[in-house]
Amino acid sequence: MLTRRHLFTGSGAFAALAALPALAHDKLRVLATFSILANFVRNVGGDRVDVAALVGPNSDAHVYAPAPADARKVADAKVVITNGLGFEGWMNRLVRASGSKAMIIVATTGISVRRAAGGHGHGDADPHAWQSAANASVYVANIRDGLVTADPAGADAYQAHAAAYLARLDALDAEVKQAVATIPADRRRVISTHDAFGYFQQAYGIEFIAPQSVSTETEPSARDVARIITQIKREKIPAVFLENITDPRLMQRIAQETGARIGGKLYSDALTEANGEAPTYIEMMRHNIRQIATALMI
């Protein structure tokens, strides 16, 4: 006797299912460690991927403490995308604990690593490589190649999406350079909270000075803060900036003590929610250079 079950496993039913659009659970499940990487993945993966970020909008990945639910997300992912360069110090343990078999893509592979000025000679690797649009192109190429390997059937789509997005990143790079060119050369100097804009400085020639190091794990010392205050006064640095992932009080105090203005908020290590000022990487970079240019032109 034919049961309901038999009907649904017949070849006719399979053909009907195959004609349906891809369901969420058919998509390539990709987990990015933080919001900026997830945005790159969305641009390359399009509707073939289902992407989530462990560290969400306006959150600090340096000091993130994974929750038990995060281990499940890692275990469920087919592809995991990390920044590397010590940015997500908690990630290796989380991957081990999850028992994940996911393919791991380190998005900074092949990048020319900046070393931050440090007390131990060589300095720590600066993980904030995405702060130059040219580096973002390296991230995108690594993500594209990883997705092609993980899901060869999507190769054409990933190649096409990546090519279109890489063209937009090239245009963004040129746009930032043009904006910097409008700022008088002797004013291209700003203060941010933590040392997150070293690659931006290398790429675009705006000098960033920060009381806090390349990681937010250690608080700036009183000596570091005093040194910055002296420098701002001596060099008449016009503006200091808040960051979306750090406590604003330090910068407010520095502004008060030096007379420098608060030039606005920069997005360093995380995007905003969709209705915020920097919901995508490209909008983040545009917002940042607009804030900087406006503050330095006054």
Task: Tell me how many residues contact Zn ion (CB under 5 A).
Answer: 2
Which positions from 181 to 220 touch Zn ion by CB under 5 A, shown as an x/- string?
---------------x------------------------
Q: Which is nearer to Zn ion, 88 or 269 (CB)?
A: 269
Query: Residue 148 or 292: which CB sits closer to Zn ion?
Result: 292
- Give residue for tokens 């941010």: 192
| Dist. CA 151–CA 147, nearest whole Å | 6
Q: How far apart are CA 255 and CA 21, in angstroms?
A: 55
126 counts as binding Zn ion under rule CB under 5 A: no
Residue with smaller CB distance to Zn ion, 70 or 126: 126
3-class SS of residue 75: helix
| 70 lies in the binding site for Zn ion (CB under 5 A) | no
| Residue placing its CB nearer to Zn ion in the complex, 173 or 269 | 269
Residues 272, 287: Cα–Cα separation, whole Å = 11
* Three-class SS state of 280: coil
- What's the Cα-to-Cα distance from 141 to each of 44, 110, 180, 198, 215, rounded to whole Å? 9, 10, 26, 22, 26
Least distance between Zn ion and beta carbon 234 (Å): 27
Residue 196 CB, nearest approach to Zn ion (Å) = 4
Q: How far is the CB of 31 from Zn ion (least distance, A)?
A: 20
Q: Which is nearer to Zn ion, 148 or 196 (CB)?
A: 196
Tokens of 283: 């909008």
Say whether residue 269 binds Zn ion (CB under 5 A): yes
Q: Give the nearest distance from C-beta 208 to Zn ion in angstroms.
A: 12
Q: Which stretch binds Zn ion (CB under 5 A): 6-14, 40-48, 101-109, 266-274?
A: 266-274
Does 44 help bind Zn ion (rule: CB under 5 A)? no
* Separation between Cα atoms, residue 118 and residue 125, nearest integer Å: 10
Q: Which is nearer to Zn ion, 196 or 292 (CB)?
A: 196
| Shortest Å distance, C-beta 244 to Zn ion | 11
Contacts of 138 (CB under 8 A, 6+ apart): 107, 108, 109, 110, 111, 129
Neighbours of 71 (CB within 10 A): 18
Residues near Zn ion (CB under 5 A) are: 196, 269
